Amino acid sequence: MAIKFKSFFLTLGIFYILIGALGISNMGFFNQNIEYILSTVLFLNGIYHVFYSMTNRKNPYFHWGLVLGEGIIELISVAIILLNTFTSQLFFTSYIGGLLCLKGLILILGRDNKLTSWENTKAKVKILVIVKGLLHFLFGSLIIVLPLLTDKAVYIVFGWYILFLGIHFLTEEYITNKKSDV
């Protein structure tokens, strides 16, 4: 990889853990600032995905187009959220939940063609990709279903999602920079 993302993963992981823990412990904070918090998370993820796809586009076993598309969709989502903050909560959460489900399915099922097969992927990276896909799909599904039951649950789900995403980034930082391979 041409650019090292070591400090980025570490910084992003710590930031997400702090924001997620704050959202879980103080629902009022998330309730008042949900648009800005999710815009920040989507913006950072979008920038990461765009740069990561560009630095790995010459790798024949990396489907950089999907990652680039994911980054662009995340950046467009930021614009939609910030330009129209009066969007109804049901539409807003359904949109974000659908986006997360789509990201999860791409991560879990996006490796079954000739160019992006698992055969040249290290075992640790396979586990990280599958866990990240499951994380996105699980929380995306919860974000879609829970607002139909209760309004307050969606803030807790967003908090837990951001917290687990931060833990995932710290794990990714640790595993990808460790010298030994499984």
Is the Cα torsion angle 131, 20, 77, 69 positive or negative in sign? negative
Dihedral in degrees, nearest 10, Cα atoms 118, 124, 125, 131? 100
pLDDT per residue over 72-85, tens digit each?
Answer: 888 888 887 777 76
pLDDT band at 182 (very low <50, low <70, confident <90, very high): very low
Determine the pLDDT at residue 168: 82
CB atoms within 10 A of CB 92: 21
CA distance 142 to 153: 9
Residues 6 or more apart in contact with residue 84 via CB below 8 angstroms: none
Residues 6 or more apart in contact with residue 140 via CB below 8 angstroms: 96, 97, 98, 99, 100, 101, 102, 103, 104
pTM for the full predicted model? 0.68
How far is C-alpha 172 from the geometric centre of its chain's CA atoms?
Answer: 13
